[in-house]
Structure 1
Amino acid sequence: MLPLNVNLIKKEIVSLFKQEDHYQDFIPCGVSVVSLFDSVFQHISESIQHSETKDDQQQLQQQLDALIELANEKLLMYPYKDVPACWRCLLMDATLLKSFTLISSMEKEETMQAKKHVARELIKILDVALIVSGGPGPRRREFSLKLLDDLQQWLRPRKTNTQGRHLAINSSATLPIIKHAITVLKEPPDYLWFEQHINQKLATPLHLQCGLMNHWPACTTRPWTDIDYILQLAGDRIVPIEIGSKYTDVCWQQKMVRMEDFINDYIIPSNLDNQQDEKKKPIAYLAQHNLFDHIPLLENDISIPDYCYAEPQSNEWYLQRPPPDVIKHCWFGPKGTVSPLHQDPYHNLLAQVVGRKYIRLYSPIHSSALYPYEGIMSNTSQVDIDDPDLESYPRFAEADYVECILKPGEILYIPPKWWHYVQALDTSFSVSFWF
């Protein structure tokens, strides 16, 4: 097990708050919040020179818990984009100071089991703070990610050349019959040809079966089919998951869990194709999460396709400016996960790393026949593709579509505003690139 330099970690945490007037961020939170935070920070600064007692440590943790709870309550009062910055800063900074107290208590634990328990608690609070707050403040995010990776390596030392448990494709499974195939390219398209294609008045989808992912470590030397490799890298990390077969279901919900619990509870049972277990437990999906921003080591296993750097032109279906950087999302879940028929504003290259997905697409010219919801879910169709109610939505039967089965190592180009329905036919791991 790799050693942790506890004293260095504690000094680095304190140094985060000594290099700028961080209290300016908290002034809108109120005088009492600033006063309590300052008192806690002064005690923590002094404890580097004079070790605090167990009672002092407990009191500090209680005060920090109060600040964290207050910040979380305030965050829930607003839509995320409207949350005042002061509450996000308070959540991040109070969590960092609590990390200091946990590191201190971890150092004093006598058994390795107790030390590991504290380390996992530290990972939990720091991961949640990063996800919820976004990691505001100078050097907060970089330091937190480094500490999280160090703790994960300490708990699960990195191993090489080990044979882990691998996710497998059920080759005997019955697959959907493809009646209206998407255009297939067996050779990589010329870059300029691709740029011209996406800038047509109405671009069309492309099924790229041309080895564009053959060099990815995620498909070769560090395969994401290897469950134990994923656990080694991120088993104790906290990730947001969706519970329910699709987000339009009434019972759909979101929660945060350890990656290991997500894999053990949802991924492995599904991969074993145990139908009884699948019916007892609802489907869970790690969906549309920027996992690479959260666990940067995973990004070393992929490459952004060159086609993402084409220059999109504005038109009827692509009205906004391209994002400053390629937007990357991960989609990891068991067989049966569904993304209901919906549309996105950007050009999308969907890369399939593990498992297979059935995907059906409708042109945006058919939008009215797909009966979008009104309001906040206007990018989602009311039609259930698996069981369409043609009495309620009669024009749906007239809408033309194209479809494919996306296999490991293949990429699907989805033009902006094209409606798409996605169903995992196996345990699946995909990466989408918006540009």
Structure 2
Amino acid sequence: MKLNLASIPRVKGISGAQFREEYLKPGKPVVFEDLSAGWPATEKWNFDYFREKAGEIVVPLYDGKPAKGRQNSHGPAMKVKMKEYIDILQAGPTDLRMFFFNLLQNCPELVEDFHYPDLGVKFFKKLPVLFVGGEGAKVVMHYDMDLANNFHFNFAGRKKVILYPPDQTKYLYKVPYSIVSMEIIDMDNPDLEKYPALALAKGYEVILEHGDALYIPSKWWHFIKYETPCLSLTLRSLPTTPGKILEVLNNLIVTRNYDNLMRKIKGQAWIDYKNKRAIQSTHKFAGIDK
């Protein structure tokens, strides 16, 4: 058995109207090969440039270890200066990642290096965020809590992305009271004997190179593996429909806080309970008797 993954379409020279009709409205992913053409970032953005421009900024780093016991599920592993983090990245493989780094707040001059694409999409311009990771680093399968439509621009390095649409959630071992799959599952090399429902899910896979931009529709699951040290920018378009706004508020205010409260009260027993529920509910939906 292996994962059922198709290729994501790649386009050049697509108009905003064509994008909205073929990808935005139906909620389908696509890779733009030229959306950042002409941006200063496309030419400038590498690790030496960020060492020069943002080297003294202290950044939080996250590792690939699942939170245990009463640990908060969103806490950083450490904080270092950007230039020290770049040294770590260039020294060899590391699972340390820089997550959701707001360029506008932390390094506003770099906002001049890119432009918001003219696709007929309303971008949330207060939140241009940077994602950086070391060779071999992985991001657990999840969907974004704010249900944004994401435009993920890759610059330095190469990464692999696996995507699943929302209707495949039933096969993905979604953990209750969260927006993640079970953290113990390595989607780069999953144990399909232990987690057989994954083989039933229909998803997509792509390798992003320098200059590629991936459109990730709202509420689509995504897993990321950094094949090399990698630096990417995400521009977000937030939901506007009442139903999705209510779901976002529930995710941010109710679900996340309840989960962290239960971690503090029950510790590892709460995590074990959720993982057990994830397996039971997934196998029930998939009709798997294990």
1:297: which partner in 2? Answer: 109
Match of 2:8 among 158, 179, 182: 182
1:269: which partner in 2? Answer: 91
User: What is the CA-CA distance between 1:412 and the residue it aligns to?
Assistant: 0.6
Query: Is contact 1:289–1:330 with CA below 8 Å preserved after alignment?
Result: yes
Point out the structure with the larger helix share. Answer: 1
Query: Is contact 2:104–2:126 with CA below 8 Å preserved after alignment?
Result: no
1:416: which partner in 2? Answer: 218
Point out the structure with the larger strand share. Answer: 2
Match of 1:258 among 59, 71, 81: 81
User: What is the CA-CA distance between 1:225 and the residue it aligns to?
Assistant: 2.0
Matching residue's letter, 2:50: I
Match of 1:212 among 18, 35, 50: 35
Match of 1:248 among 35, 51, 66: 66
Distance change in 2, residues 1:232/1:215 (3 Å): same
Matching residue's letter, 1:189: I
1:334: which partner in 2? Answer: 134
Which structure 2 residues correspond to residues 51-200 of structure 1 after superposition, within 5 A? 180-185=6-11, 187-200=12-25
Q: In the aligned structure 2, how far is the partner of 1:327 from the partner of 1:180?
A: 31
RMSD: 2.3
Secondary structure of 2:199's partner?
Answer: helix
Query: Is contact 1:326–1:434 with CA below 8 Å preserved after alignment?
Result: no
TM-score computed with the length of structure 1 as normaliser: 0.48
Q: Is 1:232 equivalent to 2:52 in the alignment?
A: yes
Matching residue's letter, 2:32: L
2:255: which partner in 1? Answer: none
Q: In the aligned structure 2, how far is the partner of 1:197 from the partner of 1:390?
A: 33
User: What is the CA-CA distance between 1:336 and the residue it aligns to?
Assistant: 1.3
1:310: which partner in 2? Answer: 121
Matching residue's letter, 2:236: W
Secondary structure of 1:366's partner?
Answer: helix
1:203: which partner in 2? Answer: 27
Question: Once the two structures are superposed, what CA deviation does each residue of 1:356-392 show, in whole Å capped at 9, x if it has no partner?
Answer: 11111111111010011111xx211114313424354
Secondary structure of 2:202's partner?
Answer: coil
Query: Is contact 1:248–1:340 with CA below 8 Å preserved after alignment?
Result: no
Query: Is contact 1:326–1:433 with CA below 8 Å preserved after alignment?
Result: no
Distance change in 2, residues 1:418/1:247 (3 Å): farther
TM-score computed with the length of structure 2 as normaliser: 0.71
Greater RCO, 1 or 2 (C-alpha within 8 Å, sep 6+):
2
Question: Once the two structures are superposed, what CA deviation does each residue of 1:58-94 show, in whole Å capped at 9, x if it has no partner?
Answer: xxxxxxxxxxxxxxxxxxxxxxxxxxxxxxxxxxxxx
Which structure 2 residues correspond to residues 350-361 of structure 1 after superposition, within 5 A? 350-361=152-163
User: What is the CA-CA distance between 1:400 and the residue it aligns to?
Assistant: 1.0
User: What is the CA-CA distance between 1:407 and the residue it aligns to?
Assistant: 0.6
User: What is the CA-CA distance between 1:339 and the residue it aligns to?
Assistant: 1.2
User: What is the CA-CA distance between 1:399 and the residue it aligns to?
Assistant: 0.5
Q: Is 1:433 equivalent to 2:245 in the alignment?
A: no
Q: In the aligned structure 1, how far is the partner of 2:219 from the partner of 2:65?
A: 19
Question: Once the two structures are superposed, what CA deviation does each residue of 1:120-158 show, in whole Å capped at 9, x if it has no partner?
Answer: xxxxxxxxxxxxxxxxxxxxxxxxxxxxxxxxxxxxxxx
Secondary structure of 1:412's partner?
Answer: strand
User: What is the CA-CA distance between 1:195 and the residue it aligns to?
Assistant: 2.0
Q: In the aligned structure 2, how far is the partner of 1:348 from the partner of 1:179?
A: 20
User: What is the CA-CA distance between 1:254 and the residue it aligns to?
Assistant: 2.8
Q: In the aligned structure 2, how far is the partner of 1:397 from the partner of 1:215?
A: 41
1:286: which partner in 2? Answer: 98
Matching residue's letter, 1:304: Y
Query: Is contact 1:352–1:410 with CA below 8 Å preserved after alignment?
Result: yes
Distance change in 2, residues 1:349/1:226 (3 Å): same
Distance change in 2, residues 1:203/1:247 (3 Å): farther
1:22: which partner in 2? Answer: none
Match of 1:365 among 143, 167, 174: 167
Query: Is contact 1:247–1:339 with CA below 8 Å preserved after alignment?
Result: no
Q: Whose Rg is larger?
A: 1
Secondary structure of 1:431's partner?
Answer: strand
Return 5+ residue gaps in structure 1 as ranges. 1-177, 271-277, 312-322
Q: In the comparison of the two structures, how many residue pairs are matched?
A: 225
2:179: which partner in 1? Answer: 379
Query: Is contact 1:334–1:426 with CA below 8 Å preserved after alignment?
Result: yes
Matching residue's letter, 1:310: V
